């Protein structure tokens, strides 16, 4: 939807609600269960559908993107995806995660066709609308929560420790759409419902200081470069 002249509040609202409807069709939940001798730990997050492949009639394999820290738990007993109350859970497999960048791939099969996200790797500007979709805190209760903000900064570089304990520099999109624990791996979308980033962390301060709406996402061009060679049946 493109509005050139005489933009009204209704025009903007229509564009946003249309974008949300498109984006939610490709956003799902992730549940990781880890077991040790004494405890069972459940971690939840979000993910975005990247591609699908029809295996046989009515059975589809879906490949989804999420965060490495969502799936990189110890003693993983099971990995599941959640597709909402009406559809429920499906078993999944961790395909790949990157040791430097907080990105991972998961696959699962289900007798349902799901929409894949459309990527937009260009024309990301400060001040543009940013729509975050994910499932904070309680996967089922707050499934696919929508928050809206704007792009606050691009090319935000941060030195951090990778999965092997080495210091690397990663680049992020900064935005002010609210995200919380469980949003990790969910999508950041533009006003056209196109995927522009994978949400991964928010700034809370050195002493857990309360800092408002400083959220960060992996730019989709960086995320795609990290995973493109690990996509099954890459075309």
The percent of residues in the chain predicted with pLDDT above 90, rounded, is 66
Residue count of the chain: 235
Mind listing the pLDDT tens digit for each residue in 63-82?
999 999 999 877 889 999 99
Residue 55 has a pLDDT of 62
Among 26, 46, 152, 184, which one carries the catalytic annotation? 184
Which tokens in the block code for residue 125?
A: 């500007």
Q: What pTM, to 2 d.p., does this model score?
A: 0.91
Q: Is 78 a catalytic residue?
A: no
Q: Which residues are paired to 45 by β-bridges?
A: 30
Residue 104 has a pLDDT of 94
Among 69, 98, 107, 175, which one carries the catalytic annotation? 69
Q: Is 184 a catalytic residue?
A: yes
Q: Which residue has the tokens 């069972």?
A: 40
Among 102, 107, 175, 215, which one carries the catalytic annotation? 102
Are the beta carbons of 129 and 176 closer than 8 angstroms? no
Mind listing the pLDDT tens digit for each residue in 101-156?
999 999 999 888 889 999 987 789 999 999 999 999 999 999 999 999 999 999 99
Cβ-based neighbour number of residue 228 at 10 Å: 10
Rounded CA separation 49/114 (Å): 8
pLDDT at 235 over 60: no
């Amino acid at each position: 939807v493109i509005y050139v002249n005489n933009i009204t509040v209704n025009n903007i609202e229509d564009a946003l609600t249309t974008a949300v409807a498109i984006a939610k069709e490709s956003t799902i939940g992730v549940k990781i269960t880890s077991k040790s001798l004494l405890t069972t730990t459940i971690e939840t997050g979000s993910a975005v559908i990247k591609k699908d492949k029809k295996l046989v009639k009515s059975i589809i394999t879906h490949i989804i993107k999420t965060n490495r820290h969502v799936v990189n738990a110890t003693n993983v007993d099971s990995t599941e995806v959640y597709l909402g109350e009406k559809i429920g859970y499906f078993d999944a497999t961790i395909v790949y995660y990157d040791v430097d960048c907080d990105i991972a791939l998961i696959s699962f099969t289900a007798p349902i066709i799901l929409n894949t996200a459309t990527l937009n790797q260009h024309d990301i500007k400060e001040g543009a609308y940013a729509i975050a979709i994910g499932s904070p805190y309680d996967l089922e209760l707050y499934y696919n929560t929508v928050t809206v903000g704007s792009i606050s900064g691009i090319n935000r570089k941060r030195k951090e420790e990778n999965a092997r304990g080495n210091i690397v520099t990663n680049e992020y999109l900064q935005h002010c759409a609210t995200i919380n624990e469980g949003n990790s791996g969910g999508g950041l979308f533009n006003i056209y419902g196109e995927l522009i980033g994978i949400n991964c962390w928010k700034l809370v301060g050195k002493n857990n200081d309360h800092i408002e709406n400083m959220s960060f996402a992996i730019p989709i061009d960086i995320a795609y470069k990290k995973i493109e060679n690990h996509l099954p049946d890459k075309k």
